[in-house]
Amino acid sequence: MAAEKTDVRDPAELRSAVDPAVLEEQGLSSMQVAERQRLQLSNVQPHTTSRSIAEILRTHLMTLFNLIIGVCALVIIILGRWLDLLFAIAAVANVIIGLVQEYSAKRKLDAIALLHQDSVRVLRDRLLVEIHREQIVLDDVVELRRGDQVPADGVVISSSGLDVDESMLTGESDAVPKRRDDIVLSGTAVLAGTCRFVVTAVGDDAHAVKLATEAKRYQKINSELRRALEQVAFWLSMVLLPITAIVFNGQMQAFGGWSEAWRTGEWREAMVTAVSSVTAMIPQGLALMTTIAFAVAALRLAQDKVLIQEQPAVEILARVDVVCLDKTGTLTDGSIVFHGAAPLDARGLPTVAQQDPSSTALEGTAPWQQVLAWYGADQYANPTAAALKMPFSALPRHHAAFQVQFSSARRWSAVTFADDAGELAGHWVLGAPDILLSPHVAASVRAEQLLSHTEAVAAGGLRTMILARAPLDGPILDGATGPLGRGERLPDGLVPVALLTFKESVRADARATLEFFGEQNVALKVISGDSPRTVSAVAREVGMRVDGDGVDASRLPEDPEAMRSALATHSVFGRVSPEQKRTMVEALQANGHVVAMTGDGINDALAMKKADLGIAMGNGAPATKAVSRMVLLDGRFDRLPKVLAEGRKVIANTERVAHLFLTKTAYAIILGLFFGLMFWQFPFLPRQFSTVDFLMIGCPAFFLALLPNARRYRPGFLRRSVLFSIPASVGICLAVVAVSAAGRHLHEPAAGVQTASTLCLTAVGLWVLTVALRPLTAARTILIASMYALLAAALLVPISQQYHLFAMPSAELLAVAFVAAVVGSGLIELGHRWHEKKVDLDPLDPVHSENTA
């Protein structure tokens, strides 16, 4: 199909072959539509989001840990030692959990289309027909009405009071008027009026799709936990090859040397013990526990209508120190609400008793109140007029004789009641103050004074409108179809009757959530495409401290240093373009901040992608959801504190788990090198080491990773874990080497030395667990006691002895094992106290309080 498309005329040639006059009157013919469909010029939308399945598989399968574990597992399989394969379970589980969690999020995203899947009206063969939006072809004539979403890019060929909401693209909440030859873009919506436009770009060429495609390019999430694991994997990969060679050579020498081992077949046992040593060095369970913690956190948050699209996203919010907020759709819900109304006297000035519009009583049947009720109930009411429906309910008994719908081009609407309407008779005009206070106003009205008053009210972030009245006998437009003509000019003799104020509807949960972030020392930056004055008013309403009227970003220099300076000193920015939003995020990151960006419009997508954490609202643009790391499905801003708590728990608990796993890696490397260089037989089989891992780390770490933990995030996770593991691993190694040396001195059989070594290693390792679980609570004490009980069962139950190939050591060696375990535990206790002093734990940190239990 692609080749066929290049062999025929290009879209410009097709368009030039269509007569514009015929196109406007008749639309495309069936033959023209079929030709464009054959050339793949239909409005087919991309149905995929984020990464492909192949990319997800590659990310989770092709890791250094998995490669090393896979090679070791292959060796064990070739040797036929199937019972020694337990070490591979953690790696397999880690891959499966990660794949399932990310694929589940991908399926949810792929179900979201960039544009709504409503039908659209197109003109074809002189008939107006309804089709699916993906059946639109290039050069189609599409008809739009109030409430429709623009399905493709195009040029307007006819318009009747058309107002378009472009906030999803620009961030500005004001309606944009469109006339003939103006451009309309996909993803925008019709607020008022009707139009027909010719489609000029479809599918991947549409503006909204281009923005979404750029934003959806995959970018790896900035996770400290993931980076720490990658660092561990990298350094292990650098040292494992020479260490493996040392271990393997040492084990061959321990079994009589290379020649003797190959002659007697003991090389198989040497290979098995070498694999046991190497696999113990890899903390594959750490990746598994981290994955489980992320997955459980994602599941809990999903129950609260929070979709985590990448596992580490929950961790990022716990590290965020700056949250960038878009106003429309984040702090506000995008709707307009009525604020107040004040009657005006004969001079057009507010009455003395009602200077504050918000204090005016609204219940009543005065003529102006009935007119406002009519505006609110009108089926063609724009969002501002529709906000009058709730406060004004006393509808007039008489029908309107004529009306003019609102248009943002003229910025007013009107209704006429005839003579038989009594007190209502006249032309009632609702519009912007500066428009109504024009030369058409009555001579008695103090227009300049009223205009100054409305500007003072607007300075507080409110939108103002004037309801004015003109007599029926006033001059009218000649040749018009009604008293107000086609709405191209105002009637004369206008007298302002009431001053109305409106505001954007602020989310009820915004203030409490922002206060919470303030308590957590998280800085807030409001960046919006709307006017700085309006943005500042909304910011003040949700409790932010704002100096002046905010910063007009359109006047900011392009110099990165100037942008960084502005962001360091100001918190509210208006007139911010989509590109500037991304630049601001980059400037904050350059200042050393971890940045979260919230938003709902396509104009936010690029900044959300660049931010460390993008948070999309559930009612926002689907393209924005596709590039975000987190989606608040019900749009509730107050979900974020719980996400923060989950993130803190994941980080704090993963650090504790990392203490255990890195201790294991450290002592495994030291033991491998020691026994390899000394040519001593390694005192563990893979199955024995797997059991030690389960008792010391695996089982406890599973519970430890899920325990409540309110500790605040502190950078340096990997450094603290390494400092913990060094003294702990030294204590373990000294104990195990002492047992092995005693076994050699006493000429104990290999099985006896392995049993005593397993006992010593597990006992000392459980003391490491005890240290990591402090402060001890009843639940944690029971967990530790259970592990000691399982150790006893593993050593004493006959079926376990047969599986592990245990043999009871002599009394002398058993005594050495007990003494070595006690001494090793004491060394670990001293090392833990040194560690606490070294990392200088914050005494105010709740990590040691009982509420972390």
User: Catalytic residue numbers?
Assistant: 326
Amino acid of residue 616:
A
Helix (H) or strand (E) holding 406: strand 402-407
Whether 688 contacts 754, CB under 8 Å: yes
Rounded Cα distance between 179 and 147, Å, is: 18
Token pair for 462: 């409110």
How distant is the alpha carbon of residue 305 from its chain centre? Answer: 13
Rounded Cα distance between 638 and 128, Å, is: 46
| Phi, psi angles (nearest 5°) of residue 552 | -85, 105
CA angle 693/696/702 to nearest 5° reads: 85
Sequence-distant (6+) residues with CB within 8 A of 177 are 162, 163, 164, 407, 408, 409
N-to-C CA span, the chain: 63
- Alpha helices (H) in 343-446, listed in sequence order: 367-377, 383-386, 433-436
Rounded Cα distance between 706 and 292, Å, is: 9
Rounded Cα distance between 594 and 320, Å, is: 5
**C-alpha closest to that of 244 among 266, 271, 262:** 271
Residue 830 has a CB neighbour count (10 Å cut-off) of 11
Q: Is 489 left (phi over 0), alpha (psi -120 to 50) or beta?
A: beta
Cα torsion through 582, 583, 585, 588, rounded to 10: 180
Does the N-terminal peptide bond of residue 775 adopt cis geometry, omega within 30 degrees of 0?
A: yes
Reported residue count of the chain is 853
What are the C-alpha distances in Å from 607 to residues 327, 362, 642?
Answer: 14, 43, 24
Task: Tell me the longest C-alpha to C-alpha distance in the chain.
Answer: 122
CA atoms within 13 Å, Cβ hemisphere of 846? 14
